[in-house]
Structure 1
Amino acid sequence: MEHVGVEQFPPDKTGDAMTTALLHLENHYWTESEYLAIGETPERIELFDGSLVVTPTPTVGHQYIVSRLVVSLYEVARSAGLHAFAGLGIRLGPGHIRIPDFLITTELNFDDRVNDSDVVKLICEVISPSNASTDTVQKMRHYADAGIPWYLLIDPRSETFHLFRLDGDRYTEHAKAAPGELLELTEPVVATIDPAELLPPR
């Protein structure tokens, strides 16, 4: 986890204050209001326990999977009165904001940068080699604690899609599939995911 600080800049010509994250500053406890004041950045920046978690830009293969997932589930989500998003800020609890790779939600506040976790019906992470334990252990626990019903975990290395269902206060594996197999969703949408169609071409 990287601790970063904020340097304030003079207001721009529109009168809004500008901020930027400086990775060399440490020992600053971040509030949610300070986090939101950062604004848009090229990096994915999340908030956890007063620290900013800065995630490097994902690989092309990672982005390919996420974009294909959005395309494959967008229309079926809309037909169910839901939304399919990539990279949406979700508040899991006070001062705890994550930006999952993909999610299916109910109605949102489109004017906010962050929405509460109770709108999320399915959340997905694509495992990156640099943070595999974060996706398989830490985030899984936090998403379960937030009460998110379904967790889809995609492992590009093993080419396996794991679908977990919330059972009490933890996730249990509901189904899995690899190329040549199909992953059937019945909630929050009825859909079939073909791993061979979502994984990058070899």
Structure 2
Amino acid sequence: MTEGKLRQRGRHRDSVEPPDPGEPVYRLGRIAGEVVPSLTPTVPHQNIAHLLVRALRTSAHRAGLGAHGSVLVRLSAERLIVPDLAVARVDRLASCAEGADTVLVGEVTRPGSDSAATPSRIEHFAAAGIPWFLLAQPETPEHRAVSIRLFHLRDGRYLEHTAATPGQTLVTKDPFPFRIRTTDLVVF
């Protein structure tokens, strides 16, 4: 998106109205000193992200971590990104999570997209050394089925550790023991 289009999107309005259906809405992050827009999550996207955080919260707490949805993560002095979820050691009143204290980040893709849909974000998480990455992929535009994949960072790249297709349960002992039933991610 060009700077001109960003300014146009930020124009003054007499009333606050939701965007027209199909009109993209953006949230902002900062990478290498540049403000970088990304699409604002849709309601189904946010619901899946919320359900993932909820599914991880108790297990993360047992491991001395917190599970957070859409929290700002400082990956470096020049990189601030808001993943759909982050599991980190963070003070409950902190304004952001530090990348060094973040154990796992997660993203929810758009229906029909593949894991390469947000490669630069994934690359930024890897470059920051965040050891685990969770990817939730809605299988249909109706969000009736979701698959999830857990990746572990090795040699600067995320490699698949385990996965669950629609109707299955993802079970892992690392980075802390947890289980997520894919059917629980579509109950909104």
Q: 1:146 to 1:68 in 2, by over 3 A?
A: same
1:82 corresponds to: 65
- Greater displacement, 59-68 / 156-165: 156-165
Secondary structure (helix, strand or coil) at the match of 2:104 reads strand
Give the Å deviation of 1:78.
Answer: 1.3
String of CA shifts for 1:26-59, please: whole Å, max 9, x gaps.
xxxxxxxxxxxxxxxx963200133212334311
Task: Give TM-score scaled by structure 2 length.
Answer: 0.77
* Deviation by residue 1:130-187 (Cα, 9 ceiling, x = unmatched): 986452x111211111111110111112632111111121111111111221111212
- The SS at the match of 2:162 is strand
Answer yes or no: is the 8 Å Cα contact 1:89–1:99 preserved in 2: yes
Partner secondary structure for residue 48 of structure 2? helix
Task: Give TM-score, length-normalised by structure 1.
Answer: 0.72
1:198 aligns with 2:185: yes
- The structure 2 residue matched to 1:72, chosen from 55, 58, 66, is 55
**1:151 corresponds to 2:138:** no
Structure 1 129/183 Cα, relative in aligned 2: closer, same or farther at 3 Å?
Answer: closer
Name stretches of at least 5 consecutive residues in structure 1 with no aligned partner. Answer: 5-21, 26-41
- The equivalent residue for 1:188 is 175
Of residues 86, 93, 105, the one that matches 2:88 is 105
CA distance in 2, matches of 1:110, 1:80: 16
The number of equivalent residue pairs is 166
Q: Measure how far apart 1:85 and its partner are.
A: 0.2
Structure 2: gaps (5+ residues): 9-24, 141-145
Which residue is equivalent to 1:115?
97
Question: % of aligned pairs identical?
Answer: 31
Alpha-carbon distance in structure 2 between the residues aligned to 1:57 and 1:139: 15
Larger gyration radius, structure 1 or structure 2: 1
1:100 is paired with a residue of what secondary structure?
Answer: coil
Mapped partners of 2:7, 2:138: distance in 1:
32
1:63 aligned to which of 33, 36, 46:
46
Q: How far apart, CA to CA, are the structure 2 residues paired with 1:89 and 1:138?
A: 17
User: What amino acid is aligned across from residue 70 of structure 2 in structure 1?
Assistant: G
Following the alignment from structure 2 to structure 1, what is the Cα–Cα distance between the partners of residues 120 and 39? 18
**Equivalent position SS for 1:147:** coil
CA RMSD across the alignment: 2.6
